[in-house]
Chains A and B, each alone.
Chain A
Amino acid sequence: MITKLNIDKEFKRKIAEISNQRISDCYQCGRCTAGCPFAMFMDSPPNQVIRLIQLGMREEVLKAQGPWFCAACLVCQTRCPKGVDIPRVMEAVRVIHLRAKECILDIPQIDYEYMLDLPPLALMSAFSKFSF
């Protein structure tokens, strides 16, 4: 629910600063979510995360799982009619968590055999997106 109490204008400005995107440009056409290969895994798909940021609903955005299923494949960036680079916005949300030292990927918890089997660039990429 939106009340005056849970609106954080500073949050929207912070996301805009990290992502260098004009979040207000989004008019919610939903093309990003329609093309997103991982939207089905997200509680809040890309267009909803953007909408929550537009409204300044910091808590809801930081609780959303959507950004953690973004593989930065950039399909949405290619298709956005307003030129919003959505993966940069998703990265900004991730970065806010990581800079607050909230780690999503618990590295010692990854199965050792599985880790040895994965190509190093998968691990490097996951470490850089999900840990600090």
Chain B
Amino acid sequence: MRLPYYPGCTLYTKAKPLNETIRSCFNIVGVELDELPHWYCCGTTFTLARDNRMSLIAPLRILTKAQQEGKQVLVPCSICYNTLKRANFIFSEDREALDIINEHLEEKYDGKEEVIHPLEFIRDNQDMIRNKLKKPLSGLKVGCYYGCLLLRPAEEMKFDDPESPSIFEDFVRLLGGEPVEFALKVECCGSYLVVNTPDAAVNASYKVIKNARENGADALVTTCPLCFYNLDALQTKIRQQYPDFKDMPIFYFSQLLALALGVDENGLQLGQNRVSPEIVLKKYGLL
């Protein structure tokens, strides 16, 4: 089985572990990822100004590339996924917008490509994973942090319930881990506010991690490279501002998947996680 794949900018730079573990996991379960040729930036973030069609050009060019490769395109980064899916929603609802942009481009987009996230692919192909499980994550208590962009706006993303989703918990259960419920799993981590008002992101990430800790989580798992940065890299700043704070390791969902599929320690790429997950993983005999 082959699947077109759009990594996006950050998966080649700061989120290499996400890119590499996704690739090795899909390889193990027998899905070959065809990276789109000559891809560009997805045009993040999705513009909310309805009178701006310029910003739809970048997503449209990617979707055009994708439609030449196959009916679905796999996008692991939450922000790219959100941008492409929302643009795609406009192209399917507003034919006029699509026609106007198509008119200016050499390659035309038909508006029919489906943007899918690896968590959706796994939900629909659970046996593929189950048959290859080597090391179930027994005992590991994981808080599934959805963040914002996978879920909202619900009527366009159609990913899961925006207030009480469960697809991520089902994923952790599939790997043999114990998902931990916590209220702030759908709350914002501070997103791009980290660039010019880091205090807002420090405060938001502190609340998320604290809430997960209070509900018994050993670690948090996320899909988004920006959530990962805010939750992981900002912990140094969080500690300075909130003396009661206790560290918590953060994983990309694909790192846990790779672990359960028996990828070796090198392949897990845990070295880039600033809060070391070693103690937690050793506690459950997973490393």
The chain A residues found within 8 Å of chain B, CB to CB, are 17-20, 37-38, 40-41, 68-69, 71-75, 77-78, 85, 87-88, 90-92, 95, 104-105, 110, 117-126, 128-130
A128 neighbours in B (Cβ, 8 Å):
44-45, 47, 55
Instruction: Add 12 more A-B contacts to A68-B197, A71-B188, A91-B47 (CB < 8 A).
Output: A17-B51, A19-B48, A19-B49, A19-B50, A71-B193, A75-B186, A91-B49, A121-B44, A121-B77, A122-B195, A125-B79, A125-B226
* B13 sits at the interface (CB 8 A): yes
Q: Which of A74, A75, A78, A105 contacts B196 (CB 8 A)?
A: A105
Separation in Å of the B196 CB from the closest CB of chain A? Answer: 5
Question: Separation in Å of the B177 CB from the closest CB of chain A?
Answer: 26
Provide the B161-204 mask, 1 if CB < 8 A to any CB of A, else 0.
Answer: 01100000000000000000000001110111111110110011
A21 to chain B, nearest CB (A): 9
A-B contact count (CB 8 A): 132
The answer to whether A73 touches B188, judged by C-beta atoms less than 8 angstroms apart, is: yes
Q: Are A117 and B233 in contact (CB under 8 A)?
A: yes
Chain B count of residues within 8 A CB distance of the other chain? 46
Q: Interface SS of chain B: helix, strand, loop or mixed?
A: loop
Set A73, A90, A91, A125: member contacting B152, Cβ < 8 A: A73
Q: Which residue of A lies closest to B194 (CB)?
A: A122
A-B contact pairs, 10 of them (CB 8 A): A17-B51, A69-B200, A71-B188, A71-B191, A75-B188, A87-B48, A110-B195, A120-B13, A121-B8, A126-B195
Interface of A is mostly: helix
**Contact status A74-B152, CB under 8 Å:** yes
CA distance A119 to B152 in the complex (A): 22
Q: Hey, what's the 0/1 contact readout for B4-43 against A, CB within 8 Å counting as 1?
A: 0000111001110000000000000000000000000100
B97 CB to closest chain A CB (Å) equals 12
Establish whether residues A121 and B49, one from each chain, have CB atoms under 8 Å apart when the complex forms: no
**Which residues of B sit under 8 angstroms from A105, Cβ to Cβ?**
195-196
Asked if residues A121 and B79 are in contact (CB atoms below 8 Å), the reply is: yes
- Which of B48, B207, B228: most chain A CB closer than 10 A? B48
With contact pairs A117-B233, A122-B194, A126-B192 given, residues A74 and B148 touching in the complex (Cβ less than 8 Å) = yes
Question: How many Å from the CB of B252 to the closest CB on chain A?
Answer: 12
**Closest residue of B by beta carbon distance from A104:** B196
Set of chain B residues within 8 Å of A90, measured between Cβ atoms: 48
B156 to chain A, nearest CB (A): 10
Q: Is the CB of A77 within 8 A of B152?
A: yes
Residues in A whose Cβ lies below 8 Å from that of B195 = 105, 110, 118, 122-123, 125-126, 130
